[in-house]
Structure 1
Amino acid sequence: MTSSEETPSFRLAYVPGVTPAKWVRIWNERLPDVPLTLIGVPAAEASGLLRDGGADAGLLRLPTDRTGLSAIPLYTETTVVVVPKDHVVAAVDEVLVQDLADDVVLHPLDDTLEWEDLPGRPAIERPATTRDAVELVAAGVGLLVVPQSLARLHHRKDLTYRTVTDAPHSRVALSWPEDETTDLVEDFIGIVRGRTVNSTRGRPKPPPEPKGKRPDTGGARRGPAAGGTGGKAAGRGRQGGTGGSKGAKGGKRGRPRRRS
Structure 2
Amino acid sequence: MPGVIVTPIVRQFRALAPEVNVQVLHTAPTDQVDYLLDGRVDVCFVRLPLPVDTFEIVPLFPEPRVAALSDEHPLAQAQTVHITELTPYRLLQDSADVPEWRGTDFDAVAARNRPETERPTSIEESLEAVASGTGFIVVPAGLAGFYRRPDIRYVQLAGVAPRMVALAYAKNRKMPSIDQFARIVIAALGSA
**What's the TM-score bracket when you normalise by the shorter of the two chains?**
0.7 to 0.9
Given candidates 175, 185, 188, the residue that maps to 1:192 is 185
Percent of matched pairs sharing the same residue: 26
Given candidates 30, 36, 61, the residue that maps to 1:44 is 30
- Once the 2 structures are TM-superposed, how far is the Cα of residue 18 of structure 1 from its aligned partner? 2.7
Tell me the amino acid that sits aligned with residue 132 of structure 1: E
- Once the 2 structures are TM-superposed, how far is the Cα of residue 117 of structure 1 from its aligned partner? 4.1
What residue is the counterpart of 1:166 in the other structure?
159
Q: Secondary structure at the match of 1:70?
A: strand
Matched, 1:107 2:93: yes
Structure 2 distance, partners of 1:185, 1:42, is 22
Whether the 8 Å CA contact 1:63–1:114 is kept in 2: the answer is no
Per-residue Cα deviation, 1:61-90 (whole angstroms, up to 9, x for no partner)? 210124221111111111101112232212
Evaluate the alpha carbon distance shift between residue 119 and residue 24 of structure 1 in structure 2; reply closer, same or farther with a 3 A threshold: farther
What residue is the counterpart of 2:130 in the other structure?
137
Matched, 1:88 2:74: yes
Tell me the amino acid that sits aligned with residue 159 of structure 1: I
Structure 1 distance, partners of 2:100, 2:86, is 16
- Once the 2 structures are TM-superposed, how far is the Cα of residue 147 of structure 1 from its aligned partner? 0.9
Which structure has the greater CA radius of gyration?
1
TM-score, structure 2 as length reference: 0.81
What residue is the counterpart of 1:175 in the other structure?
168
Tell me the amino acid that sits aligned with residue 150 of structure 1: L
Q: Secondary structure at the match of 1:192?
A: helix
Evaluate the alpha carbon distance shift between residue 71 and residue 160 of structure 1 in structure 2; reply closer, same or farther with a 3 A threshold: same
Matched, 1:98 2:84: yes
What residue is the counterpart of 2:55 in the other structure?
69
Supply the RMSD in Å over aligned alpha carbons: 2.3
Structure 2 distance, partners of 1:117, 1:85, is 22
Evaluate the alpha carbon distance shift between residue 154 and residue 172 of structure 1 in structure 2; reply closer, same or farther with a 3 A threshold: same
Whether the 8 Å CA contact 1:82–1:145 is kept in 2: the answer is yes
Matched, 1:78 2:78: no
Whether the 8 Å CA contact 1:113–1:146 is kept in 2: the answer is no
TM-score, structure 1 as length reference: 0.62
How many residues get paired? Answer: 179
Question: Using CA pairs below 8 Å that are at least 6 residues apart, which structure has the higher relative contact order?
Answer: 2
Structure 2 distance, partners of 1:116, 1:89, is 19
- Once the 2 structures are TM-superposed, how far is the Cα of residue 53 of structure 1 from its aligned partner? 2.7
Q: Secondary structure at the match of 1:162?
A: strand
- Once the 2 structures are TM-superposed, how far is the Cα of residue 107 of structure 1 from its aligned partner? 0.7
Query: Which piece of structure 1 moves more, 43-52 or 91-100?
Result: 43-52
What residue is the counterpart of 2:114 in the other structure?
none
Evaluate the alpha carbon distance shift between residue 137 and residue 117 of structure 1 in structure 2; reply closer, same or farther with a 3 A threshold: closer
- Once the 2 structures are TM-superposed, how far is the Cα of residue 121 of structure 1 from its aligned partner? 4.6
